[in-house]
Amino acid sequence: MSEAFERATEQIYDALTGPKPDQVEEIIASRDEVLERFGPLFTPKRAREIEEHEFTSFLHFRNNKHWSGLDRSIPHLTSDMEQLREGLSRLVDPSEPLAERATAAVRHVKGMGKATATAILQVARPDDCGVWNSTSGHGLKALDVWPRFEHGATFGERYARINDVLLRLADAVDTDLWTLDALWGVIDEENEPSPNVEHGGKPSVQKEEIEDEVASEEATARFGLERYLQEFLRDNWSTTELADEWRLYAEEGEPEAGFEYPVKVGYIDLLAHHREEDRWLVIELKRGQGSDGTVGQVLRYMGAVRRELAEGEGTVEGLIIAHEASDRLRYAVGETKSVGLQLYDVDFHLRQEEARR
């Protein structure tokens, strides 16, 4: 057993036995209820007959009690119910190797990504299949137990390797895969970097950072819709100027991998790859943090992409997107040639509708 694996199990055990947020406790407590309700739907025979309302009910957090956001893919997943039934039936069939059926499902069912496919597998085979999503991916990377993959590995091959690690971790701390998945949220918070914390553990906030934060809050107050910029860029990427050269990063089974991409040191707001050249673009949206914190954050993520994805090949660039820029931010970016700065405007109009007669 490696030292990294031992450290990982220690941190997971601490999360398992220590105090947990109420939401995490509720997720863990809901296990039997959810498995009893949805487990019977995800068998090879029953999946071939599943009704649309039965399947979509599972995707809502209020019913699965565990995973939010799965319902975003409902329009794509249910656009061809026969294709969905066939893909589900194959996905949950234990007679076929896990890697092969997982790959087949994400290739042949529109909208089937890693988070949805592995959540279904967890409910169908709770003792054998763990969940791979952004949160568990970040947790595995932060704990240094993320597996390495062969170049060109299929989605299923990657998931099978990840699942092996999840099984070993659950066994090492004597818990089930459902509970392990719930614990990633706790571990996620414990491993999230805090750039403005001194050695003494107290927040160290400079006056200039407070001014930046106040300015940001005032801008948000003027137009509250700005907080949806990240989702807007993801959903409307093709309409932006950036799309001319860059495409949001995607992998098989991960069509939205470039949105909140998990790396060892946190989550990248948006990650893109050049359409023709071997170049990566790390995009960070400037929110309330100070100028120095924003530049430091994008540089940290660029380093993570260089190590975890580029592997020494290609180039990694950064881009900060902000509503407005102070001189401090402009000076910092100006001294960092690999980081750019773009400003955005939000345009919103109301027009009077003439009364019909």
Distance CA 94, CA 121 (A): 10
Q: State residue 287's pLDDT score.
A: 67
For residue 167, what are the contacts with CB-CB under 8 A and spacing of at least 6?
Answer: 128, 130, 177
State the pLDDT confidence band at 164, using cuts at 50, 70 and 90.
very high
State the pLDDT confidence band at 211, using cuts at 50, 70 and 90.
very low
Segments in the chain forming alpha helices (H): 3-17, 22-29, 31-38, 44-47, 52-59, 61-64, 74-77, 81-91, 98-108, 114-124, 134-142, 155-172, 177-191, 207-222, 229-235, 291-305, 327-334
Report whether pLDDT(177) > 60: yes
Q: Kindly list the structural domains of the chain, giving each domain's residue range(s) and its CATH number in brackets, ordered by start.
A: 3-191 (no CATH), 207-343 (3.40.1350.10)
Q: State residue 289's pLDDT score.
A: 54
Q: How far is CA 211 from CA 54, 133, 218, in A?
A: 51, 36, 11
Burial of 228 (0-12, 13-18, 19+ CB in 10 A): exposed
Two structure tokens written together for 81: 């119910």
From the list 101, 113, 73, 105, the residue with the least C-alpha distance to 87 is 105
Q: What is the pTM of this model?
A: 0.79
Distance CA 199, CA 220 (A): 32
Report whether pLDDT(111) > 70: yes
From the list 81, 82, 145, 74, the residue with the least C-alpha distance to 112 is 74
Q: State residue 153's pLDDT score.
A: 92
User: Mean of the pLDDT values across residues 166-188?
Assistant: 95
Question: What is the SS3 string spanning 160-183?
Answer: HHHHHHHHHHHHHCCCCHHHHHHH
Q: Are 92 and 121 in contact (CB under 8 A)?
A: yes
CA 56 to chain centre: 21
DSSP state of 11: H
For residue 207, what are the contacts with CB-CB under 8 A and spacing of at least 6?
Answer: none
Q: How far is CA 29 from CA 22, 34, 167, 198, in A?
A: 10, 10, 20, 37
Higher pLDDT, 4 or 345: 4
State the pLDDT confidence band at 192, using cuts at 50, 70 and 90.
low
Distance CA 261, CA 271 (A): 7
Q: Are 24 and 18 in contact (CB under 8 A)?
A: no
State the pLDDT confidence band at 309, using cuts at 50, 70 and 90.
confident
What is the share, in percent, of the chain residues with pLDDT greater than 90?
61
Report whether pLDDT(244) > 50: yes
Distance CA 203, CA 316 (A): 30
H or E segment to which residue 271 belongs: strand 266-274
Distance CA 36, CA 246 (A): 45
Q: Are 117 and 106 in contact (CB under 8 A)?
A: yes
User: Mean of the pLDDT values across residues 238-264?
Assistant: 87
What is the share, in percent, of the chain residues with pLDDT greater than 70?
85
